[in-house]
Structure 1
Amino acid sequence: MNSSATAPRTPLHRSAAPGEARLLADWYATGRSATLNDHLTRYGPPPVTAALGSRRSMPLVEAVEAAGLTGRGGAGFPTARKLRAVAERRGRAVVVVNAMESEPASRKDQFLIAVAPHLVLDGAVLAAATVGADTVHVCLPRDRTTQYRQLSAALHERRRTRLDQVHLRLHALPHIYVSSESTSLVRWLGGGPARPQGSPPRTHERGVDRRPTLVNNAETLAHLALIARHGPDWYRQAGTPNEPGTTLITVSGAVATPGVLEAALGTPITTILGRAGGPTEPLRAILLGGFAGTWLPTAHLDTPLARRDLAPLGAAPGAGVLIALPRAACGLSETARMLAYLAAHSARQCGPCRLGLPAVAEDFAALAAGRADPGLLSRLRRRTGLLPDRGACRHPDGAARLAASALHVFADDVDHHLTDGSCPAAHKPPRIPVPPATPPETWR
């Protein structure tokens, strides 16, 4: 199960739970990346003709809708609704594969592309046929050269065999947290900066080259490719009735074998931690969803990994990230470092990103360092409450969610830091890797 973006650091020693090896089925079986020949031997070519039908019936859209597939990029939007919105627009459409994976704690899309690239590309080709697109743009961060070479090789295999009837183009974009937002991709592909475009029209109405544009996460498209082959009833054999299927999860922190694994939606969090080898030391909390996610105390580890079960806790699966924070770490210090990163990587286009987020990050840094003034906590709560629903994108919302959950889950530490200064754990080395909190050099 141990894996990185290119290959596992150690061999795979355990299989997935029954029925849960889908996207990573070949990987679990062989422990190596699938070539096009491996892929075609297992799955055959993408069933484009069967997916097409008439423009009115749109069989693949109906199958995806019956399967209940939702986006795996973080928002969880129904995939069939996206497909239908683009397919029903006039004019030739465009498909964009979002493989940016800007969430620093996530490796799932990188790993999926490394071991099963043709499932992702099949999904993109099938989506293009369904919405009437002649071009697929595949977007990767430009600093992941190994991943770029892997996907380039996969595209070359497909071109050499003339497998696809659509044009697939690979792009390398600036690697910035908000550059993975769908309108950032559309804006960059149109010659602009890789920053979110907050105003209408929406991408399905007028996106790349002013054409209707479908933007889907890489993992979402891989699921779509399997639904096209096996049907919605097969897809629903895993997961829950309300949230069917499997999902990829990046597990890190204080676990024995951190990496990417595949699990059915609805699997208890504690079971997922167990599949990652279990905790290596007593845990204080879990960060669910990544840097824009939610802290959960260990009392909620039995909660199923599903939106319906997590919603009462103010949480969601997000980008499929689980970080186990040990009891010996300082949750406030870890959160302060993540907030500083989010503030540095904002688009700086609107008030919440230019002013509000840096102010929250600065206040949280003071709290973590034990430098709190008498009005800091009330000011921090007020500023955090002002961030959501005010920006051109959802970047400030995620930062506010992280900060608010930290104040709640680490309430005892907050009191200690306010009255007695920073706790001893705050002076220990960080437990969660955070990239340098430096502003992007370029948006192009």
Structure 2
Amino acid sequence: MARHTISSLACATLLALSPAARAALPAITMATGPDQRPHFVTATGQVFVPQGVNWVAVSPGTPVTQKNISFNPDYYPAHRDAIHQSLRAMAKDGYNFVRIRLDAEAIAGPAGTVALDRAYMDNVIDFIRAAADSGLYVEPTGQWLPTNYYGLVSRDGFPDPDRRNTSGINELLLSRGLTHAYGRYVADFLAGIKDADPQLLSAIFCVDLWNELGFESKDLPFSRETGRYTAEDGSVIDLADPASRQRLADAAATRWIDGVIAEAKTVAPSTLFTSSVFSPLDVYRSGYIGVYMADAKWGDPRQPFRLSAIESSKADFLEIHLYPHASGATLDAQMASLEYAPDRMRKPVVLAETGAFKGEIATVDQVATTLRSILRQSCALRFAGWAYWTWDTDNQTDLWNLQEAGGYLARRLAPKSFDWCGG
């Protein structure tokens, strides 16, 4: 979500306790329809329309202090039965996938290793298996690089990041070595699932490489508005020229996505990949005009990846996160800031996060009416699917979750009873 973020979004082995999945879910892949537009299908040839929910557990606190504890060893085992029950309830309501968020700090293996925490991975694998047993696909999304993977830059012969001229998230996006390291992290995550049970990979709908990734205008090189920046590939950027700055951002976005996917596909060549974005308007930017801090109204320095840059990459489809900011809102202004044109999109688009802030839409009835309208608008815009934020994250008190008011929203938005493309 663009306006409020969870800062980290940024035991015994449970596998021994879990039965094998009853039957492998058929893998999701892409096919071209009679209209020459790609869409999702299962390996058995059935059209797949993603309709899902986001599931995340967060610690108590404020949006700034809360952490993603979904699969932490001191949380997941104690709540495992309730989590499995939630997955069964999602499937009963007609949802067909669940989006989860990994925590880079908790998933990191021991210092000095290039590995993932075994207990954390066991919990994720248990979740995927339980989801598959309920007929649900899973979309994992990452956020940040585990600290023990930074050592791959020098170990694998890449030049050190240019810390004199890049910083923060921009450093990771502009460094070939750190791109390689992030790709190995994604590959190792998928390898962990594959090693535990090769059939579980087909239960992965897709991997969102990094939740709502973008550049930050407060960090180098974009914090400079004069002079030149020389990228690792030798290209020279005029930091006083908005068009030159934006070309750097667009090229880097495509290169980063392609680099990470190339690493990940060495383990999971058939898995689908995407990279999610929010709209520039959601951080009060009019569009993509060079990652300037002067455009960051209200102090938010983020500029999301440009849709055209993602579409030019090896990402299999586009993922957009949009929240209506008033009762009865439309998507028109947000879509305009995204430069979205339905007739020109060559890849499917999924609205994988939508929901409502309590400070913007006051009653559960207004939320239900507005969200049903938003989903029907997205269908009219040729979106391929959607997912609600969130199923039951009670500690996230600033947003409406589906289980509030006795599950009223869950009933109003359940795919089994609500046709998002209906009249």
Pair in the same fold by TM > 0.5: no
- Judging by fraction of residues, say which structure has more helix: 1
- Tell me the TM-score normalised to structure 2 length: 0.25
